[in-house]
Amino acid sequence: MTRLHLVRHGPTHAKTMVGWSDIPADLSDQAAIARLQNFLPRNAVVVSSDLSRASDTATAIQGTRRRLPHLRDLREIHFGSWELRSYTEIEAEDAELAFAYWDNPGDVRPPNGESWNDVRTRVDAAIDSLVQNYSGADVVVVAHFGVILTQVQRALELDAQQTFAHRIDNLSVTQLGFDGTHWRVGAINHCP
């Protein structure tokens, strides 16, 4: 059984849509970082998105664990023209598209961005590669809200709308396992 420990990066405190923008994480809560570092398996390998909020969080919790190169395919949703804009601004520009994107996630894309299905395809491929290359191991994946939700959706066999009902807090751990055939779900959004 390959065990995935999906960690959401530290908070950015941004009040806008943050996808591929490289905004740093606030890692000042050293007690939370220490709890997370101690909670994760000592023998795990650690991999992260290439965005600094994820890679810096991975560095903060790595300890003596082996670090793998960053993976671009573990990036957050690409919000395209909506990037770094508030929902209010986006809704004022095109309320119908904004509503469709969040209310019926799937093939709807923000201008110049990714649909939910695009993100899921990209992340599934990256996770499949990790599961294949580290079969039977513990893998800590430090990534983003959307990335983690794609794997919750996969493991629980949910539709995208049901998936968005799950909360994924900063510095939380979602634990999934794959035995070569079936996904198993441990904790979702566990905050050590």
pLDDT at 96 over 90: yes
**152 has pLDDT over 90:** yes
Task: Indicate which residue of 9, 70, 78, 144 is catalytic.
Answer: 9
Active site residue 9: yes
Quick check: is 50 in a domain?
yes
- Which pLDDT value is given to residue 161? 87
pLDDT at 103: 85
Is residue 108 situated within a structural domain? no
Residues in the chain, total: 192
Closest to 150 (Cα-Cα) out of 51, 77, 98, 84: 77
85's tokens: 């804009």
Is residue 76 among the annotated active site residues? yes
User: What does pTM read for this prediction?
Assistant: 0.95
Q: Is 100 helix (H, G, I), strand (E, B) or coil?
A: helix
Residue 83 in domain = no
3-state secondary structure of 39: helix
> Pick the catalytic residue: 5, 13, 70, 76?
76
Q: Does the residue 98 lie in any domain?
A: no
Domain span at residue 39 reads 2-76+115-185
What's the pLDDT tens digit per position in 101-119? 988 889 999 999 999 999 9
Give the total number of structural domains in the chain: 1
CB atoms within 10 A of CB 146: 22
Residue 42 forms part of a structural domain:
yes
Whether the Cβ atoms of residue 56 and residue 27 lie closer than 8 Å to each other:
yes
Report how far residue 188's alpha carbon sits from residue 172's, in angstroms, rounded to the nearest whole number. Answer: 8
Q: Do 12 and 169 form a contact (C-beta atoms < 8 A)?
A: no
Token pair 């794959």 is at which residue?
A: 178
